[in-house]
Amino acid sequence: MSKVNHPSHYNQAEVECIDVIEMLNLNFHLASVLKYIWRLDEKGEPILDLEKAAWYIQREIKRRRNEPI
């Protein structure tokens, strides 16, 4: 595994995180949420990754409500 091409923290299942993001055609915010949840226990800071995912969820909610970001 390469740190650039197929990094282990995104490749824990039969598919990679990017494959799911592309398959679902997720926008940047939702792709970021999936990315942080996908690697939650792989990088040593699960609470921080949950906080980052929540930040992107809140940003997506504001975007969909047409509220200032």
Return the domain boundaries, the chain: 8-64
Reported pTM: 0.79
pLDDT band at 33 (very low <50, low <70, confident <90, very high): very high
Task: Name the packing angle between helices 28-38 and 46-64 (round to 10°).
Answer: 160
Eight-state DSSP code of residue 13: S
Kindly state the tokens that stand for 58: 């809140």
pLDDT band at 37 (very low <50, low <70, confident <90, very high): very high
Q: How many helices (H) and strands (E) does the chain have?
A: 3, 0
- 29 Cβ partners below 8 Å, 6+ apart? 56, 57, 59, 60, 63
For 15-19, 27-31, 56-60, which range has the lowest pLDDT when averaged over its residues?
15-19
For 3-12, 19-28, 41-50, which range has the lowest pLDDT when averaged over its residues?
3-12
What mean pLDDT value characterizes the chain? Answer: 88
- Give the pLDDT of residue 69: 86
